[in-house]
Amino acid sequence: MNKIFEELDLAKENPGGFCGEWVANGSTADIISPINGGEIAKVRQITGEDYQKISKAAHNAFLDWREVPAPKRGDVVRQVANELREKKKVLGELVTLEMGKSIQEGYGEVQEMIDICDFAVGMSRQLCGITMSSERKQHRMFEQWHPLGVVGVITAFNFPVAVWSWNAALALICGNSVIWKPSSKTPLTAIAVIKIMEKVLKKNGIQPALCCLAIAPGGEIGDHITKDKYVALVSYTGSVRRGREVGKIVQERFGKLILELGGNNAVIVSNKADLDIALKSVYFGAIGTSGQRCTSTRRVIAHEEIYDTFSTRLKSLYQKTSIGDPRDGKNIMGPLVDKKAVDVMMKAIESIKKQGGKVLYGGEKKDLPGGCYVTPCLIEAVPDMKMLQEETFAPILYVLKFKHLEEAIKIHNDVPQGLSSAIITNDLLESELYLSFKGSDCGIANVNIGTSGAEIGGAFGGEKETGGGRESGSDAWKAYMRRQTNTINYSQTIELAQGIKFFDK
């Protein structure tokens, strides 16, 4: 741990606010690793007064940054990517230490940051509008995109750095500044990343307040961000309940929103599926990050012809799952983020059992240091059980059966959430139906891969109670800019649209 701290410029006590300088005048929080329950470090949290200083600094940095041409903004983001490459190993180790995901997933999360930076560099030369044909002679009509302002990014514990980067890389090349409110459970990774940003920005003579940090209990500082007149866009990742509150506050002041909320993701396994593909897809989707991804597989809907074979083989995989310290490459599943998460999982299992669910395997606490380890749980269920409507952020997988694909799709869509989804089939007609308007109602729909593990090239987000937001690739950059439609008259007269004759009277 000493090496990690040294390479990332961390201390045993770290200020949790940054606005071009490090500030924090609030209480001190102990940061505990779920791996062993030991204290990693302390973070001094910010106060409301600290936030006001951060907000003003971010706004002032935006006013300067928007003057920089977009390709040059992209070059700064390119340098950030290079710094992340240099720190990939040690930063990935910190992600694992603080959050508890496997070391391979820790490295993968940092790689995701590198990838979105690379994507943003190319995008910085493609922030283009379109030209439209005007109905008036000698008029040119087109649209253009302008920087938006300060972007507030509120992230969750499960991806302590990657989700921030999806927003920040695009926000920066679009000419905005960023205030980051990370989860109070995983603030050290955020501090380490902001120190990397500070180094790059200072090297380029740019106000380091371009990327600010605000660490404090979620409700307190989150409310400051959502109500802040300087924050033009709020990107919030978290629970549906809190997302509703954030949405109301931001919309009351007509701010912009990106909401990435709950997921209750399902995989349909056809009787025409390659079962080896199905097993691997479902297994990683369900237990990757110990079931603490918003894209984790929560439900598997298997055809009755292959149900017994599939569930038996899946149970065998679960029984072989190596659970323990995620820094050990032999373990593919680490702890839940804290003891509260363990309690939530146990209560969910008891609830589904009362509703008639049958535990096929797992769902037990493991006696390992820290008290945050569990065995992944397989539960046989039927569609009308109330618990299937809820997302439990834990490695619980509900196994259901179906007769006809239309029935499977109905079961699949009959939940409030709509993030990620998948079908495993070698039948072209089934896959095409699943991807049609009659199929999955989710923002992400896959064929022959699982629900988890999205690439940054595609827009990420979902429908229904997932919030409708989109981050990362494709044209998600447009959310971070202000659209403007322009018309230029280069004739020597005034002509009105729609053929209106006004000046001839």
Residues designated catalytic: 260, 294
C-alpha 287/C-alpha 282 separation (Å) is: 9
3-state secondary structure (DSSP) of residue 109: helix
C-alpha 326/C-alpha 338 separation (Å) is: 14
Query: Rg for the chain (alpha carbons), in Å?
Result: 24
C-alpha 136/C-alpha 391 separation (Å) is: 54
According to DSSP, residue 383 is labeled: T
In this structure, which amino acid lies at residue 363? G
3-state secondary structure (DSSP) of residue 472: strand
Would you state the structure tokens that stand for residue 322, as one six-digit string?
Answer: 């190596």
Would you state the structure tokens that stand for residue 10, as one six-digit string?
Answer: 């961390």
According to DSSP, residue 365 is labeled: B
Helices (H), 1-149: 2-8, 48-65, 70-99, 103-123
Looking up tokens 């009277």 gives 505
CB 239 within 8 A of CB 264: no
Residue 319's alpha-carbon distances to 158, 210, 306, 360, in angstroms, are 25, 49, 20, 11
Q: 63 CB contacts (<8 Å, ≥6 apart)?
A: none
C-alpha 209/C-alpha 215 separation (Å) is: 15
Triad 437, 442, 446: Cα angle to 5°: 85
In this structure, which amino acid lies at residue 380? E
Would you state the structure tokens that stand for residue 97, as one six-digit string?
Answer: 């230490």
Would you state the structure tokens that stand for residue 364, as one six-digit string?
Answer: 């037990």
Question: What order do you get walking across the sheet with 28-32 strand by strand?
Answer: 13-15, 39-44, 28-32
Question: What order do you get walking across the sheet with 231-237 strand by strand?
Answer: 22-23, 17-18, 211-214, 177-181, 150-154, 231-237, 256-260
CB 335 within 8 A of CB 290: yes
Residue 211's alpha-carbon distances to 123, 306, 331, in angstroms, are 19, 52, 35
C-alpha 191/C-alpha 19 separation (Å) is: 12
C-alpha 156/C-alpha 189 separation (Å) is: 12
3-state secondary structure (DSSP) of residue 321: coil
- CA 406 centroid distance within chain: 30
